A and B are shown apart, each in its own frame.
Chain A
Amino acid sequence: MALLQIAEPGLSAAPHEHRLAVGIDLGTTNSLVATVRNGISTVLNDIEGCALLPSVVRYAPDGSVQVGYAAQAVQSDDPQNTIVSVKRFMGRSLKDVGEVGNLPYRFVDAPSTGSGQAPGMLQLRTVAGAKSPVEVSAEILKVLRERAELSLGGELVGAVITVPAYFDDAQRQATKDAARLAGLNVLRLLNEPTAAAIAYGLDNAAEGVYAVFDLGGGTFDISILRLSKGVFEVLATNGDSALGGDDFDRRIYCWILENGGVSALSAHDTRLLLTNARSAKEQLTEYPQTQITAVLGGGDLVDMTLKREVFYEMTQNLVARTLQATRRALRDAKLKVEDIKGVVMVGGSTRMPQVQHAVGEFFGQAPLNNLDPDKVVALGAAIQANVLAGNRTADDWLLLDVIPLSLGIETMGGLVEKIIPRNSTIPSARAQEFTTYKDGQTAMSIHVVQGERELVSDCRSLAKFELRGIPAMVAGSARIRVTFQVDADGLLSVSAREMASGTEASIVVKPSYGLSDEEITRMLQDSARHARDDMVARALRELQTEAAQLLDAVENALQEDGDALLDEIAQARIRGSMDALRAVLQEEDQQAIKRAVEALNSASTEFAQLRMDKSVKHALAGHKLSELED
């Protein structure tokens, strides 16, 4: 009989307790949350038994916020305050979004924050004020977080949030900000096709090179992965972060306008016809033709028949665009169509017969449809979340993903010099040295862009910053080393320092689209105006949980390697910091806990380094052994 373990209240529980972690698919049309329970990845339903949460947010006149089916039900009645497909606006300026004429929203343009800076993320004017896409997405994530906590009966250690593989830095940063705003600890941003590959690969024990074709509501990704026992390696990825089911709806919508003799639509009519267009599209998956019927605000009647062939023809070039991206991905992976063992279909839009047909013809094989295209991304994300949260599984695997778009800097004449090429395995870094071109120059400007084109103006501007305080020297003698680091989430940070003078003025730059910590705090306060106390309490609890996890991690590390790697004095120093943290852990003083956490982190840095060295040596030792066996 096992002894019951009773942990001191608030302190580290048993080290092997299951940590609650979820995977969230934050989709253009629908969002889902999944978790691993008893070793099986499961999508969590709401109390009515629905798995999908429509990604629709309504700001109601009474100050409340509706999310999901309730918001979707009123989208035609209150189109301006009901935001659908907000994912398309993440990390985007008004200029990026383009054809806003078809959309029933009141956009607020965000001017650029400085000379030469890219314009900021757009906002949407609602009855509750101007809302950024980050805030709208956070409302969706909050509902999913609450659903998970209710269903799992505890607080989450963290979440894996999926993003389209082809999302650039601005879009990724916006997604991460939304999760933070929703009170989620982001364990990782995971690319959607990669998440699908995990779910598919583990289920089917797949080996070989696979293509994941992911056509969602608003985004398209194609990823080429090599699956082998214990390794998921992304070889190349391509796509279009503004191509999805919405575009097929819009083609039908435009067809209605052109052929139905309707014009000058109100926001209500626009939303109504877009909704009708979507159901017509869905009908055509089952039936050869469909009837589109709607009564417009002015009493006009729309009553039209749409045939499958007509729909196929009007969407032909959308399908062609997915195949172009697919060809580019194959070329980057240095592979031919014949090298692909299987094609996994992901995303609701791959249900359309013309998409199935085109993909089958391109690859010369029937695509794999043995998993639910709506759920597979969330299921894969949950599996990865479970591992990242520290719940060991019997079979461990390694996931190697890539950066989808090249990172570069502006050089003379507005040209781009690539620093980190697309499809580099992440995390990745590159250091580049710059020098001054004038005597006595004390500042220089560095412009970081993302994209494949040669001209800066054709790429996305991520950050523009000035290095100041360079010691005055003869032209060409200053040496400024700029380091570009892409982390495992695919997010960029840039740091710089002057080498020649020995001054270590180093800076860390956040891309211009990201939110500063102050902005996040302000949004948190805004959103929690009614529940501020709750929020403070929650922040404290999160901090305490985090601190307890840290204590846990260090304790485990000490037990494993303490005696082997550290002398008594070093161990005592770490133990001292642990005791100090335990002493303040139950206080209500956030600052004191933060300070103690930082102190423990810094006291254990060297130990962590030693453990890492040991771990690397171990890997090499294993490597040698395998060579002997060969």
Chain B
Amino acid sequence: MDILNLDFQQDFFQLFNLPATFKIDSAALERGFLALQAQVHPDKFAHLSEAERRLSMQWATRVNEGYQTLRNPLNRARYLLLQHGVDTQEESNTAMPVDFLMQQMEWREALEAAKQAKDSAALDELEQRMQHEVRILQQQLSTDIDDTRDYAAASGIVRKLKFLEKLAEEIGSAFDELDS
């Protein structure tokens, strides 16, 4: 049983009937997601045969995976680049621009300081600064992928965003710790 190997034929953009671009109509994505789940969700098949129940679970899983992939900008960029045959080298390529690394270090120090001081206002501020940077990078991704098709540059941004995603997770955990 290998459910992810099913021949679903379509890629995620085709699945939701959307153009394969980084810029995305999120309202259309959500409409497509709900329309598909309304057809394939296991709740619609609970009273049917085992074969139909199994297929329904596989389809609903696939639709959820597609939605998560396209909804999240980092996942979407990664997926598009993969479709263009570009490896984002997130594990192998750790050479980052110096100014980016300096900024990372500064933010990590700020995170540690806020954790030590149990300062949720400082965490808030750090989160906002980071989100601002994320938005700028996403804008750049859109240009690199959709307009100039500079996939090497886009890969570099994906690697940066991966760093920031990790930092966002750590800020989240720091908030959790403040609460407990």
Which residues of A (141-168) have their CB < 8 Å from a CB of B?
157-158
Question: Does A616 lie within 8 Å of B40, measured CB to CB?
Answer: yes
Known contacts A398-B37, A506-B2, A615-B39: does B52 contact A553 (CB below 8 Å)? yes
A243 CB to nearest B CB, Å: 13
Q: Is B99 among interface residues, defined by CB-CB distance under 8 A?
A: no
Chain B residues contacting A483 (CB-CB under 8 Å) are 1-4
Partner-contacting stretch, out of B27-35, B83-91, B144-152: B27-35
A489 CB to nearest B CB, Å: 9
Q: Is A367 among interface residues, defined by CB-CB distance under 8 A?
A: no
Partner-contacting stretch, out of B60-68, B101-109, B153-161: B60-68
Question: Does A616 lie within 8 Å of B43, measured CB to CB?
Answer: no
Partner-contacting stretch, out of A127-135, A174-182, A217-225, A425-433: A425-433
Query: What is the bound-complex CA distance between A424 and B34, given in angstroms?
Result: 16
Which residues of B (33-53) have their CB < 8 Å from a CB of A?
34-43, 46-52
Question: Does B175 lie within 8 Å of A331, measured CB to CB?
Answer: yes
Question: Does B60 lie within 8 Å of A488, measured CB to CB?
Answer: yes
Question: Does A431 lie within 8 Å of B64, measured CB to CB?
Answer: no
Give the number of chain B interface residues (Cβ < 8 Å). 41
Partner-contacting stretch, out of A347-355, A459-467, A471-479, A602-610: A602-610
Query: What is the bound-complex CA distance between A431 and B59, given in angstroms?
Result: 15
Q: Is A550 among interface residues, defined by CB-CB distance under 8 A?
A: yes
Question: Does A398 lie within 8 Å of B43, measured CB to CB?
Answer: yes
B160 CB to nearest A CB, Å: 21
Query: What is the bound-complex CA distance between A399 and B3, given in angstroms?
Result: 22
Query: What is the bound-complex CA distance between A602 and B37, given in angstroms?
Result: 25
Partner-contacting stretch, out of A68-76, A259-267, A618-626: A618-626
Question: Does A427 lie within 8 Å of B1, measured CB to CB?
Answer: no
Q: B95-115 CB contact bits vs A (8 Å, 1 = yes)?
A: 000000000000000000000
Query: What is the bound-complex CA distance between A589 and B17, given in angstroms?
Result: 50
Question: Does B57 lie within 8 Å of A488, measured CB to CB?
Answer: yes
Query: Which residue of A431, A485, A618, A623 is within 8 Å of B32 (Cβ)?
Result: A623
Question: Does B2 lie within 8 Å of A481, measured CB to CB?
Answer: yes
Can you list 26 A-B pairs, Cβ within 8 angstroms, ordered by A? Answer: A158-B46, A187-B46, A188-B46, A231-B34, A328-B175, A331-B175, A390-B48, A398-B34, A399-B43, A427-B61, A429-B4, A429-B61, A429-B65, A431-B2, A488-B43, A495-B2, A506-B1, A508-B1, A549-B47, A553-B52, A557-B48, A608-B52, A615-B39, A616-B40, A616-B59, A627-B28
Residues of chain A having any CB pair with chain B under 8 Å:
19, 157-158, 187-188, 230-231, 324, 327-328, 331, 384, 387-390, 396, 398-400, 424-429, 431, 452, 481, 483, 485, 487-488, 495, 497, 506, 508, 549-550, 553-554, 557, 600-602, 604-605, 608-609, 611-612, 615-616, 618-620, 622-624, 626-627
